[in-house]
Chains A and B, each alone.
Chain A
Amino acid sequence: MQGSEKMNAPQSVAYGAVPDEAVGLDIHAHSDVSGYETTGSPFVGNAKMSARNVNVFYGEKRAIMDVSLDIGENEVIAMIGPSGCGKSTFLRSLNRMNDIIPLCKVQGDICLDGEDIYADHQDAVLLRARVGMVFQKPNPFPKSIYENVAYGPRIHGLAHSKAELDEIVEKSLRRASLWDEVKDVLDQPGTGLSGGQQQRLCIARAIAVSPEVILMDEPCSALDPIATARIEELIDELKERFTIAIVTHSMQQAARVSQRTAYFHLGKLIEVGDTKQIFTMPAHELTENYITGRFG
């Protein structure tokens, strides 16, 4: 993908051309924000990842517009917004998962530890080992529980012996608080677990390669409230070691697990701030409308 190529199309034109895919009420009434500026504080001092003027295109369609956002070290940042607002697209561009989508083009700078991840010499495989991902629907490999967790370390050559690999698997499953439930059935297929267990298995798989950042794309949307609560507890524990960016549809979840919250609307980053502030005193009208349930 063209990495640092700067966006040079006039913004007003692009804004007018955006197809309305958002659901809900009359959004256009609120979206007259050409030449918009993100409200709040998108930048932090200890940024682990930083995005500057990021635009993502699906062919002609501009899905993300001029988003600039920092993700601080060891914080949990939640991204919320109505469907089709681009939050998942933005998340997926943080570990170049969009590379596999034909016609998808990312412009702007996204840095991990100050290094541009879209630079020519950057390797997407290495990047994805450092920035892991958990997906919306639990997607364990159709292999044993052990193999699911061991796969990442094995392909990256992280373990030099069977014993070392066993240790990594156990540690990862423990961190994903799944060990006690599966320690006796490690050779059973991962697809045989319950939905919540599968998602924790996917988290274990992601943390087995010791990433620095974990991206979670609506990790609880396919789970029941009890399984959701367990994942949320887990996220709380994981933030000690990892930086986490989570996309969620549930505002309660964002409020429970995150320190900062970013509100996306029609491809724009409308407001970023401390979670508490966003949910109690939103500064932008669109944010307020969304969190008070007027649309979305």
Chain B
Amino acid sequence: MTKDRFKNTELIKASLKQRYARERRFQLYGKLAVLAGFVFLFVLLFDIVSKGTPAFTQQHINIEVNFDVDSLGINSASTQDEISKADFSSIIKLSLRAMFPDVKSRGDKRQLYRLVSIGAEYNLRDLVLKDPTLLGQKKDVWLLAHSQAASYLKGQVTRAIPEVERKVKNQQMEWLDRLQDQDRTKSSFNTTFFTYGDSREPELAGIRAALQGSFFTLVVTFLLAFPIGVFAAVYLEEFAPRNRLTDLIEININNLAAVPSIVFGLLGLAVFINFFELPRSAPLVGGIVLSLMTLPTIIITSRAAIQAVPPSIREAALGVGASKLQTVFHHVLPMAMPGVLTGSIIGMAQALGESAPLLMIGMVAFIMDVPGGVTDPSTVLPVQIYLWADSPERGFTEKTSAAIMVLMGFLIVMNALAIFLRKRFEVK
């Protein structure tokens, strides 16, 4: 007997080595998997951040603008209306020619005019509208650089690239060098990226319209999906009888969560736009479509959260004579709230990042104006990213990455909020 026991100990000892080796190997695989994940994430983030950061600076060129009354075709007695209709691009051209008198040929002149953004004329117009005494004077004004000129000033395009392969020509580079020598260029934080809508010109394109569109869309989504989702979950979990019908509903909800989002877009197009004739491209329709998409997520997570509330709490409430409704709303739902909120916020984050269904309902249109309400035509952040990614200009490449950074920033904030709320409302 003792001999047998001794033998067993030996056998166990012998197997131990192998068992521990297996465990170490498994841990190693785990660490490798985590590491690989981090590497991919880092590469992705590095790529986006390195491409996107230049978009957060903008380049200005200082031009001595000659507010020449004759070129503008107005005078100091002109009304505001006449001023706003005047051709301010003419005085930019005039001033540029004055600064570079050696530029003679038509082609060269055209290149010279290309140093300044076409948006600059509107800045000048606003200046004159604000201060009509400028008319007839000469004044140094910082004007927004054209995106191609800016790409040289930012150092993205250099002379190392053969001239035929770049939009900024050698001549323009020389002019820009001269301006730089005279301290007539400056780089500053790109505030207009957050205040302008979309534009055909990269230097004038901003994400304000898309941000506002996303905001309105999410508001509609939340207002629809949160109450409907939570109440559906409460009803199904606490009140509905368990039978074939509720089983069928449960299966369908789970299936809906797996339906490709573009299908919801087609549904939205067919039902809300074609049948109910709601406005096209509007956050209202986008919000309804996204709420349909988010509902299953909210219902499923809310049901799980409600299920996780210990039955002893329900018994305690019922035991002192609370009605079923009081039990649910005084005790069960508050205890389930962290889970419900987490699920809802994750659902909303999903909705924020969704683009496919919105393409179907026309939110992919080129819209410059910042929407003022849920029925105004607008676009959303992911669709804006999609639109910019489609544009070939270098200026839009950096805008694309910058918009992705903004979108990811919002997603991180929302997920952090979900975690915060869960910790905050968690009951020990």
Residue A163, interface by CB 8 Å: no
Q: Which of A7-15, A138-146, A247-255, A272-280 lies at the interface?
A: A138-146
The reply to whether A205 and B320 form a contact with Cβ atoms under 8 Å apart is yes
In angstroms, Cα B323 to Cα A128, docked, is: 10
Encoded as 1 (CB less than 8 Å from any A CB) or 0, chain B from 254 to 274 comes to 000000000000000000000
In angstroms, Cα B319 to Cα A95, docked, is: 8
In angstroms, Cα B316 to Cα A191, docked, is: 13
The reply to whether B322 and A155 form a contact with Cβ atoms under 8 Å apart is yes
Residue B17, interface by CB 8 Å: no
The reply to whether B315 and A139 form a contact with Cβ atoms under 8 Å apart is yes
The reply to whether B320 and A129 form a contact with Cβ atoms under 8 Å apart is yes
The reply to whether B316 and A202 form a contact with Cβ atoms under 8 Å apart is yes
The reply to whether B321 and A125 form a contact with Cβ atoms under 8 Å apart is yes
Chain B residues with Cβ below 8 Å from A140 are 316
Chain A residues with Cβ below 8 Å from B31 are none
The reply to whether A137 and B321 form a contact with Cβ atoms under 8 Å apart is no
Residue A58, interface by CB 8 Å: no
Chain A residues with Cβ below 8 Å from B312 are 135, 137, 139
Residue B318, interface by CB 8 Å: yes
Partner of A128 from B242, B321, B427 at Cβ < 8 Å: B321
Residue of A nearest to B312 (CB): A139
The reply to whether B320 and A100 form a contact with Cβ atoms under 8 Å apart is no
Residue A18, interface by CB 8 Å: no
Residue A296, interface by CB 8 Å: no
Residue A40, interface by CB 8 Å: no
**Chain B binding surface SS class:** helix
B325 to chain A, nearest CB (A): 10
Residue B314, interface by CB 8 Å: yes
| Contacts of B304-330 to chain A: CB distance below 8 A | 310, 312-323, 326, 330
The reply to whether B319 and A128 form a contact with Cβ atoms under 8 Å apart is yes
Chain A residues with Cβ below 8 Å from B428 are 142, 189, 191-192
Encoded as 1 (CB less than 8 Å from any B CB) or 0, chain A from 113 to 140 comes to 0000000000001101100111101011
Residue A84, interface by CB 8 Å: no
Chain B residues with Cβ below 8 Å from A97 are 315, 318-319
Chain B residues with Cβ below 8 Å from A152 are 320-322
Q: How many residues of A contact B (CB 8 A)?
A: 29
Chain B residues with Cβ below 8 Å from A191 are 427-428
Chain A residues with Cβ below 8 Å from B318 are 97, 100, 128
In angstroms, Cα B335 to Cα A155, docked, is: 19
In angstroms, Cα B331 to Cα A124, docked, is: 19
| Contacts of A185-211 to chain B: CB distance below 8 A | 189, 191-192, 202, 205-206, 208-209
A54 to chain B, nearest CB (A): 20
The reply to whether A141 and B319 form a contact with Cβ atoms under 8 Å apart is no
Chain A residues with Cβ below 8 Å from B319 are 95, 97, 128, 132-135, 206
Interface centre among B310, B319, B323 (most CB of A within 10 A): B319
Chain B residues with Cβ below 8 Å from A128 are 318-321
Chain A residues with Cβ below 8 Å from B323 are 125, 155
The reply to whether A209 and B321 form a contact with Cβ atoms under 8 Å apart is yes
The reply to whether A141 and B321 form a contact with Cβ atoms under 8 Å apart is no
Encoded as 1 (CB less than 8 Å from any A CB) or 0, chain B from 314 to 358 comes to 111111111100100011000100000000000000000000000
Contacts A97-B315, A102-B242 given: A209-B427 contact, CB under 8 Å? no
Chain B residues with Cβ below 8 Å from A126 are 321
Residue A174, interface by CB 8 Å: no
B224 to chain A, nearest CB (A): 30
A134 to chain B, nearest CB (A): 8
In angstroms, Cα B107 to Cα A193, docked, is: 86
| Contacts of B217-272 to chain A: CB distance below 8 A | 241-242
Residue of B nearest to A136 (CB): B312
Besides A128-B320, A155-B320, 20 other CB < 8 A contacts? A100-B318, A125-B321, A125-B322, A128-B321, A129-B321, A132-B321, A134-B319, A139-B310, A139-B315, A141-B316, A141-B331, A142-B427, A152-B321, A155-B321, A191-B428, A192-B428, A205-B320, A206-B320, A209-B320, A209-B321
Listed in ascending order, the chain B residues whose CB lies under 8 Å from chain A are 241-242, 310, 312-323, 326, 330-331, 335, 427-428
Listed in ascending order, the chain A residues whose CB lies under 8 Å from chain B are 95, 97, 100, 102, 125-126, 128-129, 132-135, 137, 139-142, 151-152, 155-156, 189, 191-192, 202, 205-206, 208-209
A-B contact pairs, 11 of them (CB 8 A): A100-B318, A133-B319, A139-B313, A155-B320, A155-B321, A155-B322, A156-B321, A191-B428, A205-B320, A208-B320, A209-B320
